[in-house]
Each structure stands twice: as C-alpha cells, then as structure tokens.
Amino acid sequence: MKKKIITLFLLILISVLAGFLVQRYSGVLYQSPVLAVKKVQKQEDQIKISGQLVNHQKEAVTLKTDAHSVAALTISFKVGQQLLLNSNKEEIIAEKQDGVVVAIIFVFLSLVLLLGGKSGVLALWGLALNLGVLFFLLRLDTLFSGLPTLGLMFLYGASSIIITFLANYGIKAFRIDLILTTGGIVLGGFLICLTALKLFENNGIRFEEMQFLTRPYLGVFYGSLLVGGIGAAVDMVVTLVSSLKELVYQQPTISQKELLRSGRRIAQDVTSSMMNVLLFAYLSGAIPMLIFYLKNGWPFVSTLQLHLSLELLRAFCGAFTILLSIPASLLCVILERRRKA
C-alpha cells in the first residue's frame, strides 16, 4: 500500500512537471501567434496588454481589448500567461492552456493504470480505439456529404460494442451472444424513441441549437440518439453480467429463481444511479446557455423548451436501453449457465 502511494505521488509530480514544461515551451509549435504577457494595464473600459510573441519571430506586441468583451469576461489577464491571437495579431482568441490539459490527462492515466492494473490498460485501449473509429467516421461524414450520418453511426455502434467487449473480456472470453444482445438493446431503445417522434411528428421538440448545420439535422440528431444509447447499454450489460457471473461462481448451486431475484436486486441498485448520471451528463452541457438566456429576460418555460428538449430525449433514449438491458442480461446469464450444465 505504501509503495502504491509513493508511486502515485511520483506520477502526479511527473504529470505536473510535464504540464509545466508543455505550457512554458510548446508555444513555438503553434501556427497561431502566441503572446507571453509581460504587462497588463486597465484604462477605464479598456485593458491594455503588452508582451512578446513566443513564435512568429518573437516580436513585441501591444493590443487593447474592451473590458466587457467575451475575452475579458472569460480570461483573467495577468503577467506570465500566454494568449492565442488571431492571424493579424490584433484580437485575443483564447488563453493557451495546453499544459493544464496535459497535466490532467497524465494524472488521469496514472490513476487508471495504477489502480486498474491490467483492466485499466485494456479500458484505455478500448477508449482509444472507440475514439479513433468515431473520429474516422466523422471525418468521412465531413468529406463525403452524400454518406448518411445515421448509417455511419450504426456502423460506429456495431464496432464500438465489439471493441468495448473485447476490452472488458478479452479474446478468450469473447461472447457473440452478448454482442448481439447489446446491439439489439441499443436498436430497441433507439426504435422506441424514433417511433414516438414519428407518431407525435416531433411536436414540442426544438431544433434551434442545430440550425447551424449544413446538412439535414434529423439524421445528425438520430445519430446522436443512437450513440448515446450505446454507452448506457454496454455499461449496464457488463455490470449485470459480471456481477451475476461472480455470484454463480461463488454459489454454483444457486437456483434459477434465486439468481433472478439477485439480478433484480443488482439492477435496482445500479439502474437509478446510472440513469441519474446519464441525465445530468446530458443536462450539464445546457446549463451555461440556460443561465445566459434567463439572465437576458427570456421566459423560464420557453428557455427550458429551447435548450433541454433534445438533451432530455437523448437521456430518455439512454434510459430505455438501460431498462431493456436488465431482462436481456439476465437471459444471457441463464442461457450460458444452462449450456454449461
């Protein structure tokens, strides 16, 4: 235990040091001008910032920004920080924070690898593969506008389920029945939401936040519903199946009735927490816009309808997949037990 604590402390120290070095010296790798702030002066409604570029021939730059601008409201200007500028070197785009991101990622990876061991490595490998497949398919979607977005998301769903189960169980314990069951669960939850939307002709659904899209928004939204259900279904199936298999391993003589009762208890313990996590994960992204609209005098009900209808639908789709996962997982465990009997 003491060895793990010392190792964790060293890994966190290395992560912080790596983040500091990246924050300090990575500016030369940027194509956008990066300004190292050396002086900040507040003049009535303006902020005067002086400094030197760390790239672009390291020239001295002085610029002014309105104290009520977006940059001034979101960035606390101080000596020593680095700012990303536009190509004309006249406007602040954002604060350079890649060092903080690197430090956080390194700490996260250290915790996963140290506490999770082999399982942590496999989980990270599965996460990397899933992200790679998703980015590849999204890239295809942007390059070839004729490709159906929903079709690409179905392809991602199938590959994501396979990758996730490989990461959790490995090749030796790879089970086709769980793959097919999870795929059916995701498809079932998606079809329930899709059927309801079609029957009610999308009444009450506000798509304004997707109006910037240059392609049909319904296909993109349906794709997001599908992807949202995948994670919920996979997590629920893995949790229930692993728990029930462990129970059967510890109590080989447990009856089918007792197994079903235990499965229901496990599902009751897990379902509510997973639904809450799913709901708040979707709703948290809408909080900034909710506050912005309410602060500017928009009616409360209209604001909620405008910004929460799509997020609630995604959460409901995930909730349906969670509920469908319970009987499906129990059935898989019972059938596997009968095959081995």
Q: What is the mean pLDDT of the chain?
A: 82
| Domain boundary residue, one of 75, 99, 123 | 99
Residues 318 and 201 in one domain: yes
Mean pLDDT by 10 residues, the chain (341 residues): 77 88 88 88 83 86 79 78 85 87 88 77 84 89 82 88 80 75 85 80 73 72 80 81 79 80 81 81 80 84 80 82 84 79 63
Range(s) of the domain holding residue 64 = 1-99
Question: What are 91's two structure tokens?
Answer: 């406007």
Count CA within 13 A, CB hemisphere, residue 142.
6
Query: Residue 232 in 3-state DSSP?
Result: helix
Q: What is the pLDDT of residue 1?
A: 62
| Position 128 in a domain | no
Residues 71 and 161 in one domain: no
Residues 226 and 92 in one domain: no
Q: How far is residue 44 from each of residues 47, 65, 67, 90, 153, measured CA to CA in Å?
A: 8, 11, 8, 20, 52
Residues 80 and 165 in one domain: no
Rounded Cα distance between 281 and 287, Å, is 11
Q: What is the pLDDT of residue 70?
A: 66
| Position 33 in a domain | yes
- Which residues is 61 bridged to in the sheet? 51
Predicted confidence (pLDDT) per residue in 202-234, tens digit: 777 777 777 677 667 777 778 878 887 887 888
DSSP labels for 45-89? TEEEEEEEESSGGG-EEEEEEETTSHHHHH----TT-EEEE-TTS
Q: What is the pLDDT of residue 136?
A: 92
Question: What are 211's two structure tokens?
Answer: 């109006």
Residues 81 and 171 in one domain: no
Residues 241 and 166 in one domain: yes
| Domain boundary residue, one of 77, 99, 121 | 99
| Position 116 in a domain | no
Residues 95 and 152 in one domain: no
| Position 224 in a domain | yes
Rounded Cα distance between 326 and 237, Å, is 7
Q: What is the pLDDT of residue 73?
A: 65
Count CA within 13 A, CB hemisphere, residue 122.
13
- Strand 46-53 and strand 34-43: pairing? antiparallel
| Position 266 in a domain | yes
For the chain, what is the domain count? Answer: 2
Neighbours of 71 (CB within 10 A): 17
| Domain boundary residue, one of 99, 134, 158 | 99
Tokens 């997020």 — which residue?
A: 311
| Position 285 in a domain | yes
Q: What is the pLDDT of residue 173?
A: 64
Q: What is the pLDDT of residue 144?
A: 83
Residues 189 and 294 in one domain: yes
* Domain of residue 63, CATH code: 2.40.50
Residues 72 and 172 in one domain: no
Residues 11 and 155 in one domain: no
Residue 300, C-beta contacts closer than 8 angstroms, at least 6 positions apart: 294
Residues 180 and 314 in one domain: yes
Residues 261 and 201 in one domain: yes
Tokens 């390291």 — which residue?
A: 58
| Position 143 in a domain | no
| Position 138 in a domain | no
Q: What is the pLDDT of residue 31?
A: 87
